Amino acid sequence: MNVAGLVAVVAVTLATISLGLYGVRLARTTSDFLVASREVSPTWNAAAISGEYLSAASFLGIAGLVMKNGVDMLWYPVGFAAGYLALLLFVAAPLRRSGAYTLPDFAQMRLASPRLRSLTTAFVVFIGWFYLVPQLQGAGLTLGTVTGAPYWVGAIGVAVVVTANVAGGGMRSITFVQAFQYWLKLTAIAFPVAVLLLAWQADRRTDLAPPSAPTFRVVTDVDVRAPVRVELGEPVVVRVDGRLDGVERSGSVPLAPGVHEIGPATVTFPADAPVPHLVGLAVRDGVAWLTPSTTGETALFGVYSLILATFLGTMGLPHVLVRFYTNPDGAAARRTTLVVLGLLGTFYLFPTLYGALGRIYTPELFMTGNTDAVVLVLPGAMLDGFAATVVGGLVAAGAFAAFLSTASGLLVSVAGVLATDVLGTGDVGRSAGSVTGFRWAAVLAGAVPAVLALQLHGLDVSQVVGLAFAVAASSFCPLLVLGIWWRGLTDVGAAAGLLVGGGAAAIAVLLAVAGPELGGWPAALVAQPAAWTVPLAFATMVTVSMATRRRIPANVGATMLRLHAPESLRH
Amino acid sequence: MEETTRPQRVRVVLGDMPQARRTPPVRAELDQQTGVGEVLVRGLVRAQLGLAVRMAALVALTVGSLPLLFALFPVLAGVTVLGIRLPWLLLGVAAYPLFVGAGWIYTRGAERNERDFVELVERS
């Protein structure tokens, strides 16, 4: 039980709620609720976008993946940031000028088809929920690591706090909250790592990547709460207090190489002992960890697929697009995005360092498989006393801010879409809603992923997020890019592209999460689908649009003018 | 509950759809999409897309070619700069300033294209 961590988590939650309440006093009408009346300044907006975007995957997941798999995983943060460059180049200003608040709005505005609108709504909800689940999982993991509370407490707790906040305040409050969250997260990742690097310096700069497989530096007590099956490479004598291979033990036990079942137990490993790792977790030795593993064809395919998914998927995430509506005009949307690129680039310098230090100072995470927790446990492992308390509390606060902000943003957009397109009373073209409708939609939007998060437990946070990106890149990216830059797009073509490309990516995602065990190329194609589903989506949209050329909207010229002409021409 | 201090809840239009908003009163020839106006808009779209594609290509050729380079020339992955392996330095640090730089060049170029467009429209 870490008291400082608990205090930090409670403080962040209270600050989020009170900032939300402050916003409620300003939120009066539905338009206030949803778009903050477009009075948000670019700096606030950029901080809010970044705060909303830096999720559990960024704050915890990247460090965990780097610790486990090494340099290859740096493509995740690079791609997460590059996604905003793609958004800046192809989408930002025209999207703002379209006046669309959500993706269904954009589809409606560009192609005027109610059925296409419904289809995009379905995809927004699917991607939004799929992205919300790992946030709640991360919350469960954090609260569990910090307080020892069961997984469901954190997952459900965050779902309730965020739902209440969104239902009560809407977007106006969320803008303040999100901007605050960015600076909190940056502080919470940058300051602790500076302290940790000083500790590493004082530790005579231990080699971060010795050529061997990970070993325990010092005598280490590993507290295994839930039973795990681990694999051991070399024999080692350990002290066990608890269950080992189905027998209650207390005292010294020689462990032979091979598979052992441990837990619940406390196991004490001697210094320099090799770290047993979870069965199925491929731990790399120092050399493999340091170098890019792009030797095999499937590995190279996986890296490029991931790059494509993150580069093109960002623009299709529902909570990202909503933010562009709060810019006053297209040029401001561009400048905001540029500031976002800088803010995200600054943040992403830090998670890698946690991953590298984690290999040396918290190798026991390989044993429990909980590498996502490396950011949270590293301060306790490297520092003592007061420093460990303060720094540990700070990272816990940052992690919690990550779930709260991303989950809030996702919930606002999913609830907005549900309120207008599913619960809305008016006809689809003139989407109308009410404050009460939005509140009910928020409750519905929060309840479903909360239930899902309880069902799907042991998935890797960053990987699930990566799959959500793949679906977004194969559905909304082609819709936006072709819709903005190509006059020839038709409603039938767009729908076909969404169904074929987005559908293929969604099926691949479901197979990767819940399907049978695959190997070789089928596994690579399913685990990182973007490299084949994105071209498929673009090709389908273009081909079908060309075949249905008569359905090109008559006003496409006026729409293009509106998307691309600067606002100064609209006297 | 003090109902008196509460403002009346009103039903408002939520999505601000094209039909609901007043049509932007742009120059007549642009609005009607005839002859000159059509050509002007097409020119602007082409210029903006060309700029965006050039910037995307720049990033694809620099950062995007790294996995292939490391696969083809494994020696590169072993090079050490300032005590840090090259892949770590490029992906962990150098990529981000490159993105900001590309974004900055694009933003300036896109704004210039728009100014040129406005000038053309005002003159014609």
Count CB neighbours of A548 within 10 A. Answer: 15
Q: How many domains does chain B fold into? A: 1
Chain A residue numbers with beta carbons less than 8 Å from the beta carbon of B50 are none
Which residue on chain A is closest to B32 by alpha carbon? A558
Which residue on chain A is closest to B31 by alpha carbon? A558
Peptide linkage before A264 cis (omega within 30 of 0): yes
Query: Binning pLDDT at 50, 70 and 90, where does residue B22 land?
Result: very low
Chain A residue numbers with beta carbons less than 8 Å from the beta carbon of B49 are 485
Of B48, B55, B96, the CB nearest to A81: B96
Residue B23 domain flag: no
Shared-domain flag, residues A97 and A170: yes
Residue B18 domain flag: no
Q: Three-state DSSP class for A518?
A: coil
Residue B79 domain flag: yes
Domain that residue B66 falls in:
32-123
Residues B44-82 pLDDT 10s: 889 999 999 999 999 999 988 888 888 888 788 778 887
Q: How far apart are CA A104 and CA A431, in angstroms?
A: 10
Q: How far apart are CA A415 and CA A85, in angstroms?
A: 27
Chain A residue numbers with beta carbons less than 8 Å from the beta carbon of B103 are 84-85, 88-89, 337-338, 341
Domain boundary among the residues A397, A432, A458 is at A458
Q: How far is CA A280 from the centre of its chain?
A: 24
Record: contact A71-B107, CB cut-off 8 A:
no
Q: How far apart are CA B87 and CA B37, in angstroms?
A: 50
The pLDDT of residue A173 is: 54
Count CB neighbours of B71 within 10 A. Answer: 19
Chain A residue numbers with beta carbons less than 8 Å from the beta carbon of B57 are none
Is any Cβ of chain A less than 8 angstroms from the Cβ of B97? Answer: yes
Shared-domain flag, residues A186 and A232: no
Q: How many domains does chain A fold into? A: 2
The pLDDT of residue B33 is: 55
Domain boundary among the residues A404, A433, A458 is at A458
Shared-domain flag, residues A186 and A241: no
- Which residue type is seen at A240? V
Per the structure block, which two tokens stand in for A146? 């910090």
Residue A304 domain flag: no
A170-209 residues touching B, CB cutoff 8 A: none
Domain boundary among the residues A234, A262, A282 is at A282
Shared-domain flag, residues A266 and A336: no
Shared-domain flag, residues A85 and A154: yes
The pLDDT of residue B72 is: 83
Handedness of CA A392, A394, A397, A401 (dihedral sign): negative
> Please, which residues have CB within 8 angstroms of residue A441's CB and are 6 or more apart in sequence?
A414, A415, A416, A418, A419, A422, A423
Q: How far apart are CA A40 and CA A172, in angstroms?
A: 9
Residue A443 domain flag: yes
Residue B2 domain flag: no
Chain A residue numbers with beta carbons less than 8 Å from the beta carbon of B74 are 291, 295
Chain A residue numbers with beta carbons less than 8 Å from the beta carbon of B111 are 331, 334
Shared-domain flag, residues A333 and A225: no
What secondary structure, in 3-state letters, does chain B show? CCHHHCCCCCCEECCCCCCCCCCCCCCHHHHCCCCHHHHHHHHHHHHHHHHHHHHHHHHHHHCCCHHHHHHHCHHHHHCEECCEEHHHHHHHHHHHHHHHHHHHHHHHHHHHHHHHHHHHHHHC
Per the structure block, which two tokens stand in for A202? 């004082």
Residue A528 domain flag: no
Mutate one of A71, A96, A556 to test the B interface: name it (highest B CB count within 10 A).
A71
- The shortest C-alpha distance from A353 to chain B (Å) reads 9
Residue A532 domain flag: no
The pLDDT of residue B10 is: 61
pLDDT in tens for each of the 571 residues of chain A? 467 777 877 887 787 777 666 655 555 544 444 554 456 677 888 888 898 888 878 888 889 888 888 888 899 999 999 999 999 999 998 988 888 878 888 898 888 888 899 899 999 998 998 888 888 888 888 888 777 778 888 888 888 888 887 777 654 556 777 788 888 899 999 999 988 888 888 887 777 777 777 788 788 888 887 788 888 888 888 888 888 888 888 888 888 888 888 878 888 888 888 888 887 777 777 777 787 875 677 778 888 888 999 999 998 888 887 777 778 788 888 999 999 999 999 999 999 999 888 888 888 888 887 888 888 888 888 888 888 888 888 888 888 888 888 888 888 888 888 887 777 644 333 344 566 777 888 888 888 888 888 877 666 666 677 788 999 999 999 999 999 999 889 999 999 999 999 999 988 888 877 777 777 787 778 778 888 999 999 999 999 999 988 888 888 888 888 888 887 776 5
Q: How far apart are CA A149 and CA A151, in angstroms?
A: 6
Q: Three-state DSSP class for A364?
A: coil
Which residue on chain A is closest to B79 by alpha carbon? A291
Q: How far apart are CA A31 and CA A33, in angstroms?
A: 5
- The shortest C-alpha distance from B2 to chain A (Å) reads 15
Residue B71 domain flag: yes
Q: How far apart are CA A46 and CA A338, in angstroms?
A: 8
Q: How far apart are CA A462 and CA A56, in angstroms?
A: 8
Domain of A351, CATH number, reads 1.20.1730.10
Which residue on chain A is closest to B85 by alpha carbon? A290
Residue B9 domain flag: no
Shared-domain flag, residues A235 and A272: yes
Left, alpha or beta for A79 (phi > 0: left; psi -120 to 50: alpha)?
alpha
Residue B6 domain flag: no
Shared-domain flag, residues A56 and A173: yes
Q: How far apart are CA A95 and CA A87, in angstroms?
A: 10
Domain that residue A227 falls in:
220-282
- The shortest C-alpha distance from B4 to chain A (Å) reads 15
Token look-up 């409606």 returns A108
Crossing angle of helices A297-313/A520-527, nearest 10°?
10
> Please, which residues have CB within 8 angstroms of residue B84's CB and are 6 or more apart in sequence?
none
Residue A40 domain flag: yes
Shared-domain flag, residues A32 and A125: yes
Residue A495 domain flag: no
Quick check: A171 and A35 in contact, CB under 8 A?
Answer: yes
Record: contact A565-B77, CB cut-off 8 A:
no
Chain A residue numbers with beta carbons less than 8 Å from the beta carbon of B88 are 71, 74, 290, 352
Is any Cβ of chain B less than 8 angstroms from the Cβ of A28? Answer: yes
Shared-domain flag, residues A426 and A324: yes
Quick check: A278 and A230 in contact, CB under 8 A?
Answer: yes
Is any Cβ of chain A less than 8 angstroms from the Cβ of B67? Answer: yes
Quick check: A294 and A269 in contact, CB under 8 A?
Answer: no
Mutate one of A435, A477, A561, A562 to test the B interface: name it (highest B CB count within 10 A).
A561
Shared-domain flag, residues A224 and A195: no
Q: What are phi and psi of A215, to 5 degrees?
A: -130, 160
Left, alpha or beta for A317 (phi > 0: left; psi -120 to 50: alpha)?
beta
Shared-domain flag, residues A13 and A116: yes
